[in-house]
A and B are shown apart, each in its own frame.
Chain A
Amino acid sequence: MKNILSKNHTGSRLILHFLLLVSISIISCKKYLDAKPNQQQVVPSNLQDLQALLDNVLVMNRSFPGIGEAASDNYYVTLTDYNALVTAQDKSLYIWQPDGVVPNGQWLAPYQVVYYANQVLESLEQIAPAPTVQSQQIRGAALFFRAYAFFQLASTFSKPYNEQTAGNDLGIPIRLTADFNPVSVRSTNQQTYDRILSDFKEAVTLLPQSSSYPSQPTKSAAYAVLARTYLAMGQYNMAGTYADSCLNLQPQLINFNTLSATSANPIARFNRETIFYAMSGGSTLLVPSRCKIDSTLYASYATNDLRRTIYFKDNDNGSYAFKGNYDGSQSATIFSGLATDEIYLIRAECYARAGQTAKALTDLNTLLQTRWKTGTFQPFQVTDANAVLDLILNERRKELIFRTLRWTDLRRLNQEADLKTTLKRNLGSDFYQLPPQDLRYVFLIPQEVITTSGIPQNPR
């Protein structure tokens, strides 16, 4: 190279210098390669990123398991509609076939919520090691979502909680890390419920009083879900206490007289009763045009009971469809979140079980007052504690229809000798039934999960 330069040719020097300059600048620009390939993609690095993950309504609020409702007794499908069903999964679900295949999403979707929550909790430790108000709220929300998903999973894939056997009953895998490497193991039911309760209880201390959207959990939501969880566990004192705490913060009810009975979707999404917004799905059995309300159940709504027309649509052929979804929508995806009507009923039931019949009836009457045509409701005046409980359980079923609560109630109440129910289905000449505490009250875990993780399957 040297002899070239020594030729003292100005042009060549200029060009050579230019080339060397370009080459050096190319090689020396390491930062040049740190630019993000896609502006919309980030490594979560601040609280806004974590909040944005929790604000993912589709993942965090709208994908909970719903096959329990499809296996419950609030509805029926006609034989012709049954025959026209497209998937084998729905066909087997309707008649409680022991080997019925459960859609993968029923397991995957709630565990996705668990993953998001764990990711947020882990990132939070790095981003905000010293707690701030906002970081604490995010932590509370993540704990809430994780426990909420665990509870939904436990209600679908584990036996109902029973104090005596919970230490041996198979619970669900409790994943507390975003790392996908640890192998999943099934905890005991006791461990499952302990974790759910402790997460919810910690969330209570961290969550804010109110939020911008019911899809974001609040303190009252944590109280409400604790009431729901304890109720499902049969621990009525605790359930009542938490229901009370919730209603102290959020007692509003919708007066059904203000709703339009002719509307196709009378109850709006994010309405004032909604404490926490969550939706469940998973079966086309619940598509409104197919899913017909059990006729005895429909008949139990009195003429002046507004729910008769707010909740139900007359199909003009002697059957009725459900249109009371707390989501402003009619589909097979149904509201399963927390609403004040449920909490009133929880508190009423717990009062009744504790023998406080007057308080129980006050709660029940407060609720029903808003459900009946103005001026027609005669408040219940019963004194017998058992009669009050029966009344409340009956009204509970009527009020909370298609909220996925019937399945957890059946699992819970079937453990009590005088509250047992055997579910029955007719299809033409075929007859099917599901006796109380049958093994089929616990759904099969999708086979892919069993294969990939090696966890034990539920017995049949």
Chain B
Amino acid sequence: MKRYLPLIFIFITLRVFAQEGTLIIGKVLSVKDSLPLNGATILVKETGNNYTTDGSGVFTIPGLKERSNLTITFIGYKKTALSVSLPLKSSLIVYLQQEHTELKEVTVSTGYQTLPRERATGSFEKVNAELFNRATGTDVLTRLDGITTSTLFDKRTGADPLSSLTIRGISSLYATTSPLVIVDNFPYDGDINNINPNDVASVTLLKDAAAASIWGVRAGNGVIVISTKKGSFNQPLQVSLNSNLTFTAKPDLYYLPQMSSSDFIDVEKMLFTKGFYDNDLSNTFSRPPVSPVVELLNQQRNGQISSNEADAQINALRNYDVRKDFDKYIYRTGINQQHALSLSGGNGSANYFFSAGYDKNLYNLMNSGYDRVTIKSNNTFKPFKHTEIQAGIQYTSSNTSNQNSLSPYGYGQIVPAGKSALYPYAQLADANGNSLPIAKDYRLGFVDTTGAGKLLNWQYKPLQEVQQADNHTKAQDILLNFGIRYYFSNHLNAEAKYQYEKAVNTNNQYYSADSYYTRNLINSFTQINGTSVIRPVPVGGILDMTNNNLEAHDVRTQFNYNNSWNTKNQISAIAGAEVRQNTTTYNVGRTYGYNPNLFTYTNVDEVTTFPFYQGLNSDGTIPNPAQFGNILNRYVSLYANGSYSYDNRYMLSLSARKDESNLFGVNSNQKGVPLWSAGLAWNIANEKFYHLTILPYLKLRLTYGYSGNVDNSRSAYTTIGYVPTNNYTHIPYANVINPPNPELRWERVGMTNIGIDFGFVNERITGSLDYYIKKSKDLISPAQIDFTTGFSYLFINSAKTKGQGIDLQLNSKNLTGALAWNTTLLFSYNRNQIIAYYNDLSTASAYVSTGLTLNPVVGRDVYALYSYKWAGLDPKTGDPQGYVNGLVSKDYSIMINGSLSDLVYNGSAIPVYYGGFRNTFTWRGISVSANITYRLGYFFRKTSINYNNLYSGWVGNSDYSLRWQKLGDEKTTNVPSIIYPNDPNRDEFYAYSDATVAKADNIRLQDIRIGYQLEKSQQAWLPFNSLQFYVYASNLGILWRANKWHIDPDYGSGFPAPRTVSLGLKADF
């Protein structure tokens, strides 16, 4: 691959308008976005002559009188009249106000070409800047939540927005399900957070095959095209400023079903009398952590304290709730600042856009934050006739700070050794705010006394760790692009584009000498012999460094052809070739004894096996997490796309693409996959026989085609992966990554789309309705295989899914007077089912799930929620009951090892119907808009009490207080009674029975925005063209939910996104 030197062109030229005698030159711009209006009509009242603006919004009127009255009209804009007196004192710029919020002439971008929506056959959905900027926030993608059809963010697992986003449901089972993100012309390989939303001009979703298949093998999950702002020719300098402040409430810890301290203590007391803790208390091998209550009970049993004293201390602990400390010391109100400034303009031969942005976020968790500086420049110029050159640069620099990954302190992340949670009465600080120790890896009594002062302090104090947090990621991302286009004629032009991206991420996590991680590691290897103390791990800090480098090149050449003849025939075609390469390299390293002030460090012996202090653990070597890696992806693609329209009535589009990649271990001739699509559209409203004046716009669309999905991690041959070292021999070794799979193919997604676009008279109601059928085949999925082969699963192209859905968008103008009221209704239906899956041999326990993961069963939704059939609690014992052979039973082992047919199918664990309902009221400059979102037709499983996890893992659940305790309780509760010794199968049965499943349907008030806008056209004194103040509040809460447990099912077992309130202003000069 050749490297091209980045070329940066930044041209800033201001055009000065000529005024000579009675000839005037002026310009017509849209007031909203200052974009030139092409084809506006200027009527000179005195002469009756009409003039029209050109593509740059410029008009020229010769022979004007000294005073003339002009009337300017443009479709979709309010008629504007003005009188001019010559000579002009300043350049004549006329701003037109939009008549309606929806523009009829909408263009959509595929990343390869821009086409008028009216002539498109495919299913596009466009979010314009106004809608996009309705929300606030640091990143681009989350703003799409609730304002587009077909997009669904699955927030249950807390994954990043891109990973949690699907368009029209999932199309792949084990490859990525995220859509492809295009920024301007090329797939974006960097961190999507590096794009400043203030630079975004519009976002287009490519939903069906005709729209997306031009992107080939990476388009199977849908495509999001982000178009960034650009300058335009013959446009005076525009300056825009946006600044806002967002407050994020502390997370509601009390939402979580934490077991009450008193209940937890009662269980501990019961277990203590049963001897449950005897093993831990007498364990002098690993000295496992023991809770304060058990310590007190043990002291009482050993006669160290009286029973009165023990009771008093234990009862005092009943009043603590660790969430209070977390709320007070670990979480804070988040504050995000965002400031963005942009300049744009252009003359006849050059235009420019320049922006700078600054974000500073303080997140809820102490010591976690983010700041970002973005600089962007985009320039186009015409150095000579027929040639257009474009050059752009985007630079992002960010700093992320966080808790250290090996010493986290968020709620639920402080987990003592061998446990899964912290006991609910833990105290992080005393009444005076001094931090308190908790038993983390070993018992407190042991930690406090062992080593007789020769060890480093071994106490773990969570609040001290908060102060020690030192985890910083610096990221720099530079994106350069360069394009040249040559017009051979009015019909044919050719272009070449090149983009280079380099992103460097450096993560430094420093564990200071005072941090628990460091002290613990040093003590673990300390050897004390009499007075001699040997420390193989040196006293000093530990620095972990991770470097990540991304370098991507994209080269594209493309021919564009446009022609029309006989006024009725219109043809538009593109053909091109492109090469993409991206390389990711990373390395991880650790330095011991690091001193951040002197930059000194200590060499350690990472080979010798050292004894663990007092044999608390096995002998071992000093950890060395060093790692190196290099991932290279290459694609070569050829593509062509053409559309023909006749008389603005019939449209035909065809698209074909062939992608090849460096798919490992596959012969060249199998590396490629041809993908294609075809589409038809019929503008019924343009037919002569069409006379429905109430519905002046009606268009039918029909498309079919294929796009793909690629997973370069698989291979057709036996592949082995090297591991640099191991703890036993300290030499490199290799793993078999996958057995040979000569049948390996690319996954393909075929989609049929039928759509209708319509607009009633005066655009009172506009909208579109799409119905689609999506079939994914050759999906790579695990097939269970006889373990005797040495494998438990093989990943083969074995699965098929079939999905169908509806996307409906309705916009209505309910009131159009001084008080305007617009409503947008979004409705999406999507259901994806497995129609072929190789793996169907498992027992019942493999199918019951929390619904968070894929659960492929033929004939069911991809996220299928299965449960054991529930037969209520045994009235005599409070034991959960199920069915065996149709009879009520408590033989849990048989039920767990039963078959799929014994289970109850609850339904899909992800929404089947979803959308939003947005109302906007405007009166004078004030606008109020609220978005209500809904998700329907799905189910979720709650967490409940699991006695196994409670006893040995300290994981409680507030359902414990609802447990069966006496005869008759079974009528009001499904929570099983407490038993000891515990039967893990009993827990398993209850946890995955349909007693813990409910409908997840909910409706929520997603956000409210209030804006006040001042316009220069109305308030002539303003130094701005427009000035807007706004307040935006989001995550306002659930309005209705189907479950009676008061659970927000869209956030899984975590807490719902906290409310945010933003205050901001936006000014255009």
Measured CA separation A216–B618 after assembly (Å):
22
- Tell me whether A316 is interfacial, beta carbon within 8 Å: yes
Which of B279, B661, B739, B842 touches A289 (beta carbons < 8 Å)?
B279
Decide if B893 touches A88 in the complex (CB within 8 Å).
yes
- Tell me whether B276 is interfacial, beta carbon within 8 Å: yes
Chain A, interface size: which category?
Answer: 35 or more
Decide if B790 touches A114 in the complex (CB within 8 Å).
yes
Which of B618, B619, B789 touches A111 (beta carbons < 8 Å)?
B789
Q: Which of A275-326 contact B (CB under 8 A)?
A: 277, 288-290, 313, 315-317, 321, 323
Decide if A264 touches B615 in the complex (CB within 8 Å).
yes
Q: Which residues of B contact A15 (CB under 8 A)?
A: 387, 484, 486, 494, 496
Task: Using CB atoms, name the residue of chain B closest to A62.
Answer: B728
Which of A23, A41, A56 touches B719 (beta carbons < 8 Å)?
A41
Decide if A452 touches B284 in the complex (CB within 8 Å).
no
B724 CB, nearest partner CB in chain A, Å: 9
Task: Using CB atoms, name the residue of chain A closest to B897.
Answer: A447
Contacts A33-B660, A35-B662, A111-B789 given: A19-B494 contact, CB under 8 Å? Answer: yes
Measured CA separation A118–B557 after assembly (Å):
49
A10 CB, nearest partner CB in chain B, Å: 11
Decide if A215 touches B634 in the complex (CB within 8 Å).
no
Encode B944-969 as 1/0 by CB contact (under 8 A) with A: 00001001100000000000000000
Decide if B786 touches A184 in the complex (CB within 8 Å).
yes
Q: Which residues of B contact A447 (CB under 8 A)?
A: 843, 897
Decide if A22 touches B496 in the complex (CB within 8 Å).
yes
A208 CB, nearest partner CB in chain B, Å: 16
Decide if A22 touches B557 in the complex (CB within 8 Å).
yes
Decide if A81 touches B279 in the complex (CB within 8 Å).
yes
Which of A53, A173, A178 touches B720 (beta carbons < 8 Å)?
A53
A211 CB, nearest partner CB in chain B, Å: 10
- Tell me whether B450 is interfacial, beta carbon within 8 Å: no
Which of B661, B739, B841 touches A33 (beta carbons < 8 Å)?
B661
Which of A56, A452, A453 touches B735 (beta carbons < 8 Å)?
A56
Which of A19, A22, A107, A183 touches B787 (beta carbons < 8 Å)?
A107
Contacts A11-B384, A88-B984, A184-B788 given: A37-B664 contact, CB under 8 Å? Answer: yes
Decide if B611 touches A58 in the complex (CB within 8 Å).
no
- Tell me whether A132 is interfacial, beta carbon within 8 Å: no
Candidate in B494, B555, B671 with the most chain A CB atoms within 10 angstroms = B494
Chain B, interface size: which category?
Answer: 35 or more
Decide if B788 touches A107 in the complex (CB within 8 Å).
yes
Task: Using CB atoms, name the residue of chain A closest to B719.
Answer: A41
Contacts A32-B634, A88-B984, A180-B789 given: A80-B275 contact, CB under 8 Å? Answer: yes
Contacts A33-B671, A184-B786 given: A27-B638 contact, CB under 8 Å? Answer: yes
- Tell me whether B263 is interfacial, beta carbon within 8 Å: no
Decide if B789 touches A87 in the complex (CB within 8 Å).
no
Decide if B712 touches A80 in the complex (CB within 8 Å).
no
- Tell me whether B489 is interfacial, beta carbon within 8 Å: yes
Q: Which residues of B contact A269 (CB under 8 A)?
A: 609, 619, 728
Decide if B660 touches A42 in the complex (CB within 8 Å).
no
Measured CA separation A37–B737 after assembly (Å):
14
Decide if B787 touches A289 in the complex (CB within 8 Å).
no
Q: Which residues of B contact A12 (CB under 8 A)?
A: 386, 486, 488
Which of A315, A317, A321, A453 touches B786 (beta carbons < 8 Å)?
A453
Task: Using CB atoms, name the residue of chain B closest to A104.
Answer: B787
Decide if B720 touches A87 in the complex (CB within 8 Å).
no
- Tell me whether A251 is interfacial, beta carbon within 8 Å: no
Candidate in B576, B634, B663 with the most chain A CB atoms within 10 angstroms = B634
B1020 CB, nearest partner CB in chain A, Å: 48
Measured CA separation A277–B737 after assembly (Å):
24
Q: Which residues of A contact B286 (CB under 8 A)?
A: 289
Measured CA separation A33–B948 after assembly (Å):
53
Q: Which of A163-171, A327-335, A401-409, A436-444 contacts B (4 or more CB under 8 A)?
A: A327-335
Task: Using CB atoms, name the residue of chain A closest to B984.
Answer: A88
Which of A32, A42, A49, A57 touches B728 (beta carbons < 8 Å)?
A57
Measured CA separation A383–B980 after assembly (Å):
56
How many pairs of A and B residues are in contact by the CB < 8 Å rule? Answer: 279
A312 CB, nearest partner CB in chain B, Å: 12
Decide if B790 touches A42 in the complex (CB within 8 Å).
no
Encode B709-726 as 1/0 by CB contact (under 8 A) with A: 000110101111111001
- Tell me whether A36 is interfacial, beta carbon within 8 Å: yes
- Tell me whether A116 is interfacial, beta carbon within 8 Å: yes
Q: Which residues of A contact B431 (CB under 8 A)?
A: none
A51 CB, nearest partner CB in chain B, Å: 9
A83 CB, nearest partner CB in chain B, Å: 3
Q: Which of B625-633, B798-806, B1044-1052 contacts A (4 or more CB under 8 A)?
A: B625-633
Which of B578, B721, B787 touches A26 (beta carbons < 8 Å)?
B578
Task: Using CB atoms, name the residue of chain B closest to A44.
Answer: B720
Contacts A32-B636, A33-B660 given: A52-B276 contact, CB under 8 Å? Answer: no
A262 CB, nearest partner CB in chain B, Å: 10
Q: Which residues of B contact A59 (CB under 8 A)?
A: 735
Candidate in A35, A215, A446 with the most chain B CB atoms within 10 angstroms = A35
Contacts A57-B729, A81-B279, A288-B285 given: A52-B484 contact, CB under 8 Å? Answer: no
Encode A215-242 as 1/0 by CB contact (under 8 A) with B: 1000000000000000000000000000
Decide if B619 touches A36 in the complex (CB within 8 Å).
no
Q: Which residues of B contact A184 (CB under 8 A)?
A: 786, 788-789
Decide if A52 touches B787 in the complex (CB within 8 Å).
no
Task: Using CB atoms, name the residue of chain A closest to B387.
Answer: A11
- Tell me whether B312 is interfacial, beta carbon within 8 Å: no
B992 CB, nearest partner CB in chain A, Å: 15
Q: B residues engaging A (CB < 8 A)?
A: 1, 274-276, 278-280, 282-286, 384, 386-387, 484, 486, 488-489, 492, 494, 496, 555, 557, 576-579, 609, 611-612, 614-616, 618-619, 629-634, 636, 638, 660-665, 668, 671, 712-713, 715, 717-723, 726, 728-729, 731-737, 739, 784-792, 794, 841-843, 893, 897, 948, 951-952, 980-985
Sample of 9 further A-B pairs with CB below 8 A, known A83-B274, A269-B609, A328-B611: A37-B662, A39-B630, A111-B788, A119-B736, A183-B786, A265-B611, A289-B282, A330-B615, A448-B784
28 residue pairs of the A-B complex, CB under 8 angstroms, read A4-B492, A11-B384, A26-B555, A26-B578, A27-B577, A27-B636, A27-B638, A33-B662, A34-B662, A37-B664, A37-B713, A38-B629, A40-B722, A41-B720, A44-B718, A52-B732, A52-B734, A56-B733, A78-B275, A84-B951, A86-B948, A108-B790, A180-B786, A213-B729, A321-B285, A327-B618, A331-B618, A452-B787
